[in-house]
Structure 1
Amino acid sequence: MDFFYNDLPSTSSSTLKEGQEDTQMLKDTDSDLSRKTSSNVWISESEEEQSSSYIDDINKKAQEMVEKINLSRTRDEEMIDSFQEKLIEKVTEMCQLMREQMYKIYEKNSSEFQRKLQSLTEVVDNCSKLNYDLLEASQALACLRSGLDIDQGSE
C-alpha cells in the first residue's frame, strides 16, 4: 500500500491544487470586494444619512436663529412703542406745565400792564388838562395883549 501525502486529509488546513488555488483566490477576492462594496454602499448610505441629518440640524438651527431674531425684533418694536407712548405722555405733561406757567406769567404781566396802563391814562388826562389850561392862558394873554395894543394906539 502506497500512501501519498496528497491523499491524506489534513487536520490543519486543506491543500489545494494549482487550478483550485486560483479559483479559490478569485472567489475570496470577489467575496472581499462584494463585502467592501456592500460596506462602501452601507458607508455611503450612512454618510448620506449623517450628511442629511447634519443639514437638517443646520436648517433647524438657522430656523431657530431666524425665530430668535424675529422675536428680538418684535420686542424691540414693542419697546420703541412703549418708549414713544411714555415720551408722548411726558411731552404732554411738560406742555401742560409750560402752559400753566405761561398763564401765570400772563396774569402777572397783565396785572402789571393794567397798573401801568392806569398810570398812563392818568398822565394823559393830566396832560390834556394842562394843555387845556395852557390854551386858556394863551387866549387870556392874547386878549390882554390885544387890549394893551388898543390902549397904546389911543394914547
Structure 2
Amino acid sequence: MRSFQVGCLALGLMVSVACGGTPPEKPETEDKAAKPTKPAPKPCDPQDLIPVKPETVPESLEVQHILIAYKGSGAAKSPQINVTRSKEEARKLWEKVFQEARNCADFNKLVIEYSDDPYKMNDSKYNAFPGFYEITPKGVFDESFKKCAQGLSPGNIDKVESYYGFHIIRRKA
C-alpha cells in the first residue's frame, strides 16, 4: 500500500510539472555552497586561442599580426619605423601583449596600439582588420612567420620571432 501511495505522489508531481506547475521547493537544509557554480562566459574563451595545428596546411590563409621591432631587427632598418627599444625591452612587451591577446583582448585594438608595422592600416579592403595579411604561395614572407601562421587553426593565436622582430599572429577564422 505504501509503494502505491509513493507512486501516486510521484505521478501527481510529474503531471503537475508537465502541465505548467512548479515542483515543490527543496528544504533549506541543503547546502547551497557545496554546489560549484560556473562563471559567466567571457566573449571568448582563452582556451580557444591556444595554438591548434590545422588538419591540413592551407596554401593561402589570412592573418592579423602585431610586429614588435627593436634596434637591430630587420624592421628597424626601414625608414618608416623609428625604433628605440632594445631587444630585451621588445621581448618583454611581446610577452605582455601576447598574454593580453590570449586573455581575449580586442586584437584589432592591440594591433593599432602596439604594432610597429608601418603598413598595418594600408589595405583599405581590410581596414576593419588592421595588421591584415594574406599569405599565398607566391607571397614573400619570412619563413618562420609563414610556418607559424600555417601551423594555426582559424582563430588561434601564437607568437614567433623572425628577422623583422617579434610577431603575434592570429589566423583569421
TM-score of the two chains, using structure 2 as the length reference: 0.15
Going by fraction, where is strand more abundant, 1 or 2?
2
TM-score of the two chains, using structure 1 as the length reference: 0.16
Going by fraction, where is helix more abundant, 1 or 2?
1
Larger Rg: 1
Higher RCO, Cα 8 Å, sep 6+: 2
